[in-house]
């Protein structure tokens, strides 16, 4: 298993532009899988459950230079724990959550990196801002000065064809450029967290800076 992970990482890393950050999504896989990926050079790991991440982090304390990325739905009552455990939160999906994180961050002495999750197409199965709702909230988000808002995150709805998927990624990149042109003092739009195992090649073509890959590195989740 260890050598399979290592080989897959090498192949995929070589296929990505060097500027694209490869986040290994280790959810459901044990700490040993993370260790294998670490030994193959990965330093960015994505998890979507607080409790699961906490127990793996406890097992991996001897690997101090891991950057942890939270990519799941974050409930407000877990915001504090998320800030304690994660360097990045990709899935900030509403203003209230952003404000809660902004309030907690200085109390905890952290300065989290954040992406704003957007839904380019309506999708009842996903959380996130619609484009219009995000544009309406930018002024309030710009006030969240204890967050380092770095860009946008998106997950296309299930069942799209390649063209439709590409459109979602291109529209996300375009939205980030539009926001950037508004020159907000505290909203950076240099990161695009987009692309999973099935669609990361398209995401990279559209300008993704962070791909979140699980299955293609670790195998099927059970
Ligand atoms: C699980 C998950 C991934 C990884 O998905 P794969 O298809 O296994 O690569 C990426 N992003 C998010 C938000 C996820 O929940």
Average pLDDT over residues 133-140: 98
Say if ligand 1 is within 6 A of residue 36 CB: no
pLDDT at 59: 98
At 80-126, the pLDDT tens digits run: 999 999 999 999 999 999 999 999 999 999 999 999 999 999 999 99
CATH number of the domain at 69, please.
Answer: 3.20.20.10
Closest CA to 150 of 190, 184, 112: 190
The answer to whether residues 40 and 10 touch, using CB atoms and an 8 Å cutoff, is yes
pLDDT at 1: 63
Residue 158 burial by CB count (10 A; 0-12/13-18/19+): exposed, middle or buried?
A: exposed
In the block, which residue shows the tokens 């739905």? 73
Instruction: Report if pTM > 0.85.
Output: yes
Instruction: Give how far Cα 188 sits from Cα of 21, 54, 191, Å.
Output: 17, 29, 8
Residue 48 lies in domain: 2-218
Say if ligand 1 is within 6 A of residue 155 CB: yes
pLDDT at 3: 83
For residue 25, the ligand 1 atom closest to its alpha carbon is 4
Does 2 have pLDDT greater than 80? Answer: no
Query: Binning pLDDT at 50, 70 and 90, where does residue 43 land?
Result: very high
CA distance 87 to 133: 26
**What is the domain count for the chain?**
1
The answer to whether residues 77 and 56 touch, using CB atoms and an 8 Å cutoff, is no
For residue 27, the ligand 1 atom closest to its alpha carbon is 1
| CA 149 from centre of chain | 12
């Amino acid at each position: 298993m260890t050598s399979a992970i290592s080989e897959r990482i090498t192949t995929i890393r070589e296929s990505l532009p060097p500027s694209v950050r490869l986040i290994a999504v280790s959810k459901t896989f044990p700490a040993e899988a993370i260790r294998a990926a670490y030994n193959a050079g990965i330093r960015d790991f994505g998890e979507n459950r607080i409790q699961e991440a906490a127990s793996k982090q406890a097992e991996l304390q001897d690997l101090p230079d891991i950057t942890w990325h939270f990519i799941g739905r974050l409930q407000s009552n877990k915001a504090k724990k998320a800030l304690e455990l994660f360097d990045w939160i990709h899935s900030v999906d509403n203003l209230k959550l952003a404000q809660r994180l902004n309030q907690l961050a200085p109390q905890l002495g952290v300065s989290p990196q954040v992406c704003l999750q957007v839904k380019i197409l309506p999708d009842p199965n996903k959380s996130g801002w619609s484009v219009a709702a995000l544009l309406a909230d930018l002024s309030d988000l710009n006030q969240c000065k204890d967050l380092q808002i770095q860009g946008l995150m998106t997950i296309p709805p299930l069942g799209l064809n390649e063209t439709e998927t590409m459109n979602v990624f291109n529209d996300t990149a375009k939205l980030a450029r539009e926001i950037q042109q508004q020159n907000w003092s505290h909203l950076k739009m240099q990161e695009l967290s987009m692309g999973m195992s099935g669609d990361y090649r398209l995401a990279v073509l559209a300008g993704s800076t962070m791909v979140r890959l699980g299955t293609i590195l670790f195998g099927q989740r059970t």
